[in-house]
Amino acid sequence: MKLNRNFKNLKENYLFAEVGKRVDAYTKEFPGSDVISLGIGDVTIPLSLKAVAACKDAATALSTVSGFRGYGPYDGYAFLKDAVVDYYKMRGITINADEVFITDGAKNGIGNFLDLFDPDNTVMIPDPVYPAYVDANVLAGNRIVYVDATKENGFLAMPPKRGKADIIYICSPNNPTGAAYTTEQLKEWVEFALENNAVIFYDAAYEAFIGDKKVARSIFEVPGARDCAVEFCSFSKMAGFTGVRCGWTVIPMVSPLNRMWLHRQAIKFNGTSYVVQRMAESMLRGGYEDTKTMVAEYKHNAGIITRKFDELGIEYTGGVNAPYIWFNCGIDSWEFFDYLLKKARIVCTPGSGFGKNGNGWIRFTSFNTKARTEEAVKRFESFWKEFNVVREKLFEPVK
């Protein structure tokens, strides 16, 4: 028996496991201490009652002879695919139902999509980035090249002048930096992909957070994207479905990937649960206003954080079209993590865990409740003032 040799190339510590380990150690040492997490990537607002009603109705239907359903279509039920088509139509984008594939979340879609590609491809990934892209490619044994996202380009990596890629990952609004591409900027990526005969994996898991008109909510707003892109989306953050599990992938019919993905799903996937698909449908139909309210609450929390950062003169990106705020702490990210936990009992996510360009930066999220976010910001203000006094004496700056 030979195990997947690429496993040994994965980083030993998965970022969030290491964060959990350090928080556990802290709470063991100081039991009962009131730790607030501004590091969580999970949602806290409970499900919309419309989703719950759809869940109950669907479960009841399954208990009847006429409403019972067994295995569903590999690519999802027509009622949800049509709802996704209408969701795009509302934003002026035309796709058709054959181009929509329902998944059990964006992460599975993004990771499994690599099944359609030969390992002899060059995969271009921005740095810093959502760690799952890198890990899925390491596991598949793919060749990775990085494009830099730094404060000089507003943490929005642009196509390199020289260099080739076959597969390009773009995440906008971005996890971890919260930065989001304008339609104009995405045009450059689409042109680069077309010149390289490459495919763009466009992760739009946070598109519902976009308020800025110049920022693209879908890669398919860009001319030419239908010839080079697939888009992954999710109900996780827009509707609080991180535990319910539902997402979708759009693959234009012109691409051979469309039929290949259907075939792949038929081999390895038996579809997303009927009940869950009914819940998701309810969020795109009558419950759409509830998703907007949820997103607005998280954006309000983001505003609580960014207003304080403005007041304190902290350098940051994000928080406008995203639930993430990415700020410059000026020292090693893990040292800052430990110091912030010790002094203010706040958990953050160290930027270096998202790539080398993340060192010296920290990710906060707006997913905690309003009350906890307000309390954290109050603590953070005193922490930051004190940190600035001791910073030079206690810490080396990041170069």
Report the interface residues with ligand PLP, using CB under 6 A.
41, 105-107, 130, 171, 175, 203, 205, 234, 236, 242, 247
* C-beta of 196 vs 365, nearer to ligand PLP: 365
* C-beta of 319 vs 330, nearer to ligand PLP: 319
Shortest Cβ 42–ligand PLP spacing (Å)? 8
Question: What is the C-alpha R_g of the chain?
Answer: 22
Cα–Cα distance, 381 to 384 (Å, whole number): 5
* C-beta of 236 vs 373, nearer to ligand PLP: 236
Shortest Cβ 131–ligand PLP spacing (Å)? 9
Shortest Cβ 52–ligand PLP spacing (Å)? 19
Cα–Cα distance, 228 to 165 (Å, whole number): 12
Helix (H, G, I), strand (E, B) or coil at 326: strand
Shortest Cβ 174–ligand PLP spacing (Å)? 8
Shortest Cβ 235–ligand PLP spacing (Å)? 7
Shortest Cβ 247–ligand PLP spacing (Å)? 4
First CA to last CA distance, the chain: 46
Determine contact, residues 233/106, Cβ cutoff 8 Å: yes
b/e string for 140-151 if b means 16 or more Cβ within 10 A? bebebebbbbee
Angstrom distances, CA of residue 260 to CA of 35, 113, 267: 47, 10, 11
Shortest Cβ 232–ligand PLP spacing (Å)? 7
Determine contact, residues 238/208, Cβ cutoff 8 Å: yes
Shortest Cβ 104–ligand PLP spacing (Å)? 8
38 backbone dihedrals φ, ψ, rounded to 5°: -110, 25
Q: Which residue is nearest to ligand PLP (CB)?
A: 105
* C-beta of 185 vs 236, nearer to ligand PLP: 236
* C-beta of 127 vs 203, nearer to ligand PLP: 203
Determine contact, residues 252/300, Cβ cutoff 8 Å: no
Give 15-22's long-range contacts (Cβ < 8 A, gap of 24+).
15/131, 15/349, 15/350, 15/353, 15/354, 16/41, 16/349, 18/353, 19/337, 19/347, 19/349, 19/350, 19/353, 22/337, 22/338, 22/341
> Residue 135: which region, alpha, beta or left (left: phi > 0; alpha: psi -120 to 50)?
alpha
330 backbone dihedrals φ, ψ, rounded to 5°: 80, -10
* C-beta of 106 vs 136, nearer to ligand PLP: 106
* C-beta of 245 vs 345, nearer to ligand PLP: 245
* C-beta of 126 vs 330, nearer to ligand PLP: 126
* C-beta of 124 vs 344, nearer to ligand PLP: 124
The CB density around residue 119, as the number of other CB atoms within 10 Å, is 12
Shortest Cβ 130–ligand PLP spacing (Å)? 4
The CB density around residue 268, as the number of other CB atoms within 10 Å, is 9
For residue 271, what is the DSSP state? -
Determine contact, residues 297/187, Cβ cutoff 8 Å: no
Shortest Cβ 282–ligand PLP spacing (Å)? 17
* C-beta of 112 vs 122, nearer to ligand PLP: 112
